[in-house]
Structure formats: structure tokens, C-alpha cells
């Protein structure tokens, strides 16, 4: 064999061996195929498959039922589970709104287009998540306001897309309102079909929605262990009630109450009233009388068209929750005072001029239901006179003083508390100087466009916000979503938000975003002291 041929043979053997070795190594060390990224546009819930709609980097699932339609025999019953289905739910349209009051003088229809019809079949929720493969995302459950008589989780101002882009899942819900959500009657109480759960059906719906989120949100890429409830006005009042309700315990890990009211006022079912006090059953009897059916059975009342119930409902006052001994074991105020509320971090706050748009004479007349003339006179110097007292006392009584009471009580129980005051006033508002600092003039609900980043014009905010409005909105969205992620609103690039410690509040104003000592604390403490010593008996209070 020639030397040249020998080299070729040897080289061939070496290459063959290398090739064999390479093949062996390839089989032994081959990486497993990467798992496909999850496609959250199609998910499977406990009731069946749901397909969302992808648009502008957001996956939205609209009109997902979280409970059975509360109609027929389920009217004025605790919510029942939604029925399973085999068919695919294409969640591209919002569900019905719950029954609402007719348009009333002094309560103009919103500029936003409410395109969803009204119906008792209204227990739906909407889910927004970023169009990414991320999972175990924190969840924010929005509870809309409206005095517990109106509202919807599908309002354009509350669209959850902008918040979802911050790395969270946003869920917005409907719950029963008015006489469908808050009703008691002697026959219903005597039958007691839901084990003592009476009257607070709208609040029970909120709890049922949170239970649905706990059981299903992981399919959407959410973390059921990181759920923050947040709401404004009646939604803020609902957040207080959820913190106080033992049935909601463990369903959320944080809470944000924006302009919550009703903290100190409450009603009772008949079994819990003191002699001479009114019960919520009496309100149900009055409703039936207005329906001109005083002797009707419960079955007959349930058979009446929803429009008949709406027409007979008294919408002159906002609705309050009631102590039934199960959903709410005692008043929300007493629960917090006893330290028995849910031990979770909270953000609480309000706008700086909640009801200042109401004429002072009307506010003075309204406050006469709650405070004596002597108390009103004693409070006037804190405002610099009667004129400013009559302009701002109702805001302090209904909102600011209750934020302070809730925050102090929650902090006393050992929980983190962050307090804010929102002062981004709309164009045309009046800035006024009280004894203890300025009021910029932000009315009730003025904070909602900033929290969601949706400037619809429905709350007097500019539809073309300038740099200052955009900056405050970005800051608020970051604070809210940071809180949902960690229980602390602070994060990189944001002004430091100090825990309240009974002293500090975060100010959102055109002059800047700043956490500082609360210059209103002394006035609000004085008001709370006067209220506790000059209080109208709870049974005589119809609303706030």
C-alpha cells in the first residue's frame, strides 16, 4: 500500500470515528424541544373555553359570566355558580348592565356611550391582560361606583388596557344594584334561604366574582395569590365592606379605596335592630307598597318585570350596606375599630373637593341630618367661617374624615397604609384657601381618568391632556400597579410615597406629586371628635 493511500485510509477512519462520536454525543446531549409559549387568547375556565380578542398589545375577554343569571327564583338570592358549557364563548362583547335608575334631574347621563342593554341577567366580568407570554401576573379587580344604584364594569373611563400594559391583569365586574342588589322583606327573612345571607346581594356578587377569580384567573396567566381589589365611590365603599366581611377573607391580598363613603353609617336586618330602630325589611315593605302590591307573596314579587321594581324604587338616597350577621357581622366602622378587618396593605384617599360643586345652601341642609346647629357652629372656625364650612364640610364629613378614620384604624391593627389626596382640578374649577392650606377643586370621581389613563371627558377632565396631566396619570398608574405587584406603591423614578403613620399623605396636584405631612389632619380629627359626640342614631340615617 502506498503512503498516499495509507494516509487516505487513516484519515477516513479518523473522520468516520469522529462522525460516529459526534452522532453519539448529539443523541446523548440533545436539548429538549422548547415548550411553545402559552397562547392566552384561548383559555379554559371552570365553565368552559373562552376566546379573547387581541388588539393594541392587549388581550381582552368581555362579558364572561361569573355567576348564574339572578332571575326568577334567583331574584333576591345569594349568587349561584355559573352553569358549565361545552360551546366556546367568544368574549368580544360586554355583558348587560345591571338594572339602573332612569335619568333624573340633577343626574345627567354620562357623555360616554353606554351601549349595553340593561337586564337582571348582568353578572359578567371583563378581563384585560398584556399580549405576552408572561404568567403569574398580579391581578387588579375593579369595583365600579355609582351609589350602589348605577354603574358598570364596561365604562370606557375604566377600560383596563393601559393598566394591563404595566404588567398586571385587570378584571372589572358588574354587580346587582338598587332594589335588586339591596333588598329585604319579612317573608324573605323568615324563609332565610341562604343561611343568614340577607339584603347585601350586590356585595355577595362582588364576593362571588372574587371567588371566580381565585378559581379561574391562573388560566389567564394571573396569580390568584396576588389579587388587589380597588374601587371608587360606591366601589370604594365596597372595598371597605370587603375588608370587613369574613366571607371575603383570603380572596385578596391588597385593597385600594378611592373616595369610599359609608364607613360610619350602617343599617341592620330586623333580627339585629334595637327597639324603635328601623330595619332594612321596612324598606322592602315600603317598596312593595309603592308597587301597589302590599299583600303579594314573594313568588308574585319575583314574577314582576324588572321595570316595575325600578319604577317603585326610591332613588333619593344612596344605598348603604346592612349588618346581617353573616356577610357583615357588625358595622364596618366597628369591625375596623376592633381590628377584625382583613390584614392586608391598603391605599385610601379622595379628591380634595369631593362635593364642593353642590351649592353651599344645599350642603348645609344636607348636613343638618347628621350634625346639630351647635356642632356646625363649633366647626366653622376650622374653615375660616360659615361660607367655606358650608362649601367643604360635606366633603370632609362624607369622604375625607372617613379616609382618616379608616386609615388610622387599619394602621393601628398593624397593617401598611398609604393615604392620598387628589387635587388635579378640571378647567373652570375654583381654587380656595382654607385655614390649613389650598383646595385645588378636584370633584368627586376626578381621579378615575388618571388612574386608568383614559381621558374621556366624562369627569370634566381634558380630553386632550397636557404634559402635567399625562405625567400625573403615568405616576398614578405606576403607583397603583406597583402596589398590586408588591403591596408597596413605590418604584423606580417615582417620588417616594411614605406610609401614613397617621401623618403623611401623597398629594397629586398641578404643583407636583409629593408625600408630605397632612395639613388637614387636625381639622379632620376635630370633625371626627364632634361627629362621635353629636351622632344621629344609626337607625335614623337613610343614606349618605
Q: Is 5 within the bounds of a domain?
A: no
Integer Cα distance of 159 and 84 in angstroms: 27
Q: Is 511 within the bounds of a domain?
A: yes
Same-domain check for residues 265 and 414? no
Q: Is 25 within the bounds of a domain?
A: no
% of the chain at pLDDT higher than 90? 81
**Of the residues 344, 373, 392, the one at which a domain ends:** 344
Q: What is the pLDDT of residues 139-188, one digit of tens each?
A: 999 999 999 999 999 999 999 999 999 999 999 999 999 999 999 999 99
91 grid coordinates: 368574549
Q: Among 222, 212, 254, 253, which Cα is nearest to 348's?
A: 254
Same-domain check for residues 249 and 384? no
Q: What pLDDT does residue 227 have?
A: 98
**What is the CB neighbour count within 10 angstroms for residue 20?**
10
383 grid coordinates: 374653615
Same-domain check for residues 91 and 120? yes
Q: Is 295 within the bounds of a domain?
A: yes
Q: Are 319 and 147 in contact (CB under 8 A)?
A: yes
Integer Cα distance of 522 and 517 in angstroms: 11
- Enumerate the active-site residues: 233, 354, 444
Domain CATH code at residue 90: 3.40.50.1820
Same-domain check for residues 315 and 416? no
The total number of structural domains in the chain stands at 2
Q: Is 521 within the bounds of a domain?
A: yes
Q: What pLDDT does residue 109 have?
A: 52
Q: What is the pLDDT of residues 393-438, one digit of tens each?
A: 999 999 999 999 999 999 999 999 999 999 999 988 889 998 888 9
Same-domain check for residues 430 and 536? yes
Integer Cα distance of 265 and 399 in angstroms: 12
The rounded mean pLDDT for the chain is: 90
Burial (CB count <10 Å: 0-12, 13-18, 19+), residue 463: exposed
Residue 5 has pLDDT above 50, yes or no: no
**Of the residues 344, 361, 378, the one at which a domain ends:** 344
Q: Which range marks the domain in which residue 401 is found?
A: 352-544
Integer Cα distance of 1 and 3 in angstroms: 7
Question: pTM value?
Answer: 0.91
Per-residue buried b or exposed e for 495-511, using 16+ beta carbons within 10 Å of the residue's own CB: eebbbbeeebbbbbbee
* Maximum separation of any 2 CA atoms in the chain, in Å: 125
Residue 6 has pLDDT above 50, yes or no: no
Angstrom CA distances, 140 to 6, 57, 156, 249, stand at: 76, 18, 17, 16
Integer Cα distance of 214 and 274 in angstroms: 38
CA 114 to chain centre: 19
Q: Among 146, 120, 316, which Cα is nearest to 238's?
A: 146
**What is the CB neighbour count within 10 angstroms for residue 44?**
11
474 grid coordinates: 403615568
Provide the pLDDT confidence category of residue 40 given band limits of 50, 70 and 90: very high
220 grid coordinates: 389567564
Same-domain check for residues 330 and 437? no
Integer Cα distance of 445 and 74 in angstroms: 33
**Of the residues 323, 344, 365, the one at which a domain ends:** 344
How much helix, strand and coil, in percent to the nearest 5, is found in the chain?
Answer: 35, 20, 45
Integer Cα distance of 267 and 330 in angstroms: 10
Amino acid at each position: 500500500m502506498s503512503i498516499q493511500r495509507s494516509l487516505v485510509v487513516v484519515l477516513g477512519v479518523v473522520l468516520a470515528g469522529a462522525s460516529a462520536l459526534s452522532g453519539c454525543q448529539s443523541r446523548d446531549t440533545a436539548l429538549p424541544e422548547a415548550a411553545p409559549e402559552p397562547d392566552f387568547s384561548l383559555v379554559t375556565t371552570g365553565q368552559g373555553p373562552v376566546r379573547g380578542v387581541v388588539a393594541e398589545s392587549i388581550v381582552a375577554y368581555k362579558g364572561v359570566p361569573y355567576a348564574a343569571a339572578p332571575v326568577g327564583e334567583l331574584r333576591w338570592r345569594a349568587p349561584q355558580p355559573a352553569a358549565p358549557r361545552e360551546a366556546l364563548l367568544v368574549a368580544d362583547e360586554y355583558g348587560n348592565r345591571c338594572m339602573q335608575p332612569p335619568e333624573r334631574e340633577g343626574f345627567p347621563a354620562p357623555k360616554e356611550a353606554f351601549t349595553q342593554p340593561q337586564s337582571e341577567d348582568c353578572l359578567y366580568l371583563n378581563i384585560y391582560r398584556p399580549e405576552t407570554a408572561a404568567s403569574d401576573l398580579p391581578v387588579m379587580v375593579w369595583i365600579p361606583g355609582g351609589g350602589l344604584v348605577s354603574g358598570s364594569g364596561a365604562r370606557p373611563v375604566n377600560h383596563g388596557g393601559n393598566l394591563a400594559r404595566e404588567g398586571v391583569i385587570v378584571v372589572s365586574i358588574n354587580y346587582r344594584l338598587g332594589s335588586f342588589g339591596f333588598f329585604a322583606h319579612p317573608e324573605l327573612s323568615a324563609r332565610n334561604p341562604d343561611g343568614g345571607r340577607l339584603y347585601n346581594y350586590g356585595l355577595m356578587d362582588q364576593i362571588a366574582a372574587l371567588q371566580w377569580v381565585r378559581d379561574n384567573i391562573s388560566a389567564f396567566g394571573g396569580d390568584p395569590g396576588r389579587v388587589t381589589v380597588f374601587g371608587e365611590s360606591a366601589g370604594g365603599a365596597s372595598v371597605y365592606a370587603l375588608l370587613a366581611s369574613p366571607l371575603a377573607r383570603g380572596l385578596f391580598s391588597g385593597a385600594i379605596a378611592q373616595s369610599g363613603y359609608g364607613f360610619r353609617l350602617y343599617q341592620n336586618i330586623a333580627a339585629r335592630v334595637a327597639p324603635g330602630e328601623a330595619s332594612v325589611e321596612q324598606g322592602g315593605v315600603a317598596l312593595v307598597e309603592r308597587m301597589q302590591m302590599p299583600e303579594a307573596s314573594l313568588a308574585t314579587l319575583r314574577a314582576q318585570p324588572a321595570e316595575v321594581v325600578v319604577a317603585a324604587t326610591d332613588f333619593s338616597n344612596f344605598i348603604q350596606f346592612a349588618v346581617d350577621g353573616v356577610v357583615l357581622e357588625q358595622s364596618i366602622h366597628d369591625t375596623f375599630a376592633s381590628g377584625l378587618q382583613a390584614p392586608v396593605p391598603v391605599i385610601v384617599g379622595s379628591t380634595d373637593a369631593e362635593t364642593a360643586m353642590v351649592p353651599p345652601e344645599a350642603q348645609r341642609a344636607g348636613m343638618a341630618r347628621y350634625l346639630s346647629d351647635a356642632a356646625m357652629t363649633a366647626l366653622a372656625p376650622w374653615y375660616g367661617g360659615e361660607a367655606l364650612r358650608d362649601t367643604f364640610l360635606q366633603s370632609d364629613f362624607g369622604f375625607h374624615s372617613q379616609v382618616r378614620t379608616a386609615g388610622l384604624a387599619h394602621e393601628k391593627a398593624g397593617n401598611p397604609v398609604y393615604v392620598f389626596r387628589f387635587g388635579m382640578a378640571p378647567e373652570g374649577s375654583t381654587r380656595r384657601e382654607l385655614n390649613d392650606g389650598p383646595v385645588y377643586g378636584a370633584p368627586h370621581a376626578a381621579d378615575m381618568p388618571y388612574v386608568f389613563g383614559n381621558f374621556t371627558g366624562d369627569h370634566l377632565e381634558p380630553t386632550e391632556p397636557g404634559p402635567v396631566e399625562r405625567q400625573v396619570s403615568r405616576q398614578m398608574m405606576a403607583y397603583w400597579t406597583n402596589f398590586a405587584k408588591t403591596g408597596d406603591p413605590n418604584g423606580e423614578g417615582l417620588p417616594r410615597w411614605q406610609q401614613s403613620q397617621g401623618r403623611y399623605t401623597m398629594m397629586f396636584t398641578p404643583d407636583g406629586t409629593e408625600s408630605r405631612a397632612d395639613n388637614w389632619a387636625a381639622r379632620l380629627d376635630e370633625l371626627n371628635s364632634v361627629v362621635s359626640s353629636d351622632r344621629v342614631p344609626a337607625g335614623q340615617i337613610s343614606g349618605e
